[in-house]
Amino acid sequence: MKSEFSNLEKKYLEKLVTRIIFLRKEKGYSQEKLANESEVARSLMRGYERRERNISFGNLIRIIKLGLDMTVEEFFSEGFDSAPEKKKRKNS
């Protein structure tokens, strides 16, 4: 049961990050610009996008509301579950 939850958690964390990146690029923002607008450290934003850091709830809300200038409902309703998942690279 724990591994099922862990897999589900990883899947949705990936969707979350993919959604943030998609919306950031759609707005024409760099990582630095989104970090500044969100009042989040640039190193954290970079870590989130590289999947090296887990995003806190507080920073997620800052990114959505301040950085992306949208409601939480908009963030999660407009394409969140239909966002393409990042494909894993095969080792050559």
User: What is the CATH classification number for the domain harbouring 69?
Assistant: 1.10.260.40
Query: Taking residues 37-45, what's their average pLDDT?
Result: 97
| Domain presence at residue 90 | no
| Domain presence at residue 89 | no
pTM > 0.95: yes or no: no
| Total structural domains within the chain | 1
Residue 1 has pLDDT above 60, yes or no: no
Residue 88 has pLDDT above 50, yes or no: no
| Domain presence at residue 46 | yes
Between 11-15, 16-20, 39-43, 88-92, the lowest mean confidence (pLDDT) is in 88-92
Gap between the Cα atoms of 89 and 64, Å rounded: 29
| Domain presence at residue 86 | no
Gap between the Cα atoms of 65 and 63, Å rounded: 6
Count of residues making up the chain: 92
Which residue range(s) make up the domain with 14? 2-76
| Domain presence at residue 84 | no
| Domain presence at residue 83 | no
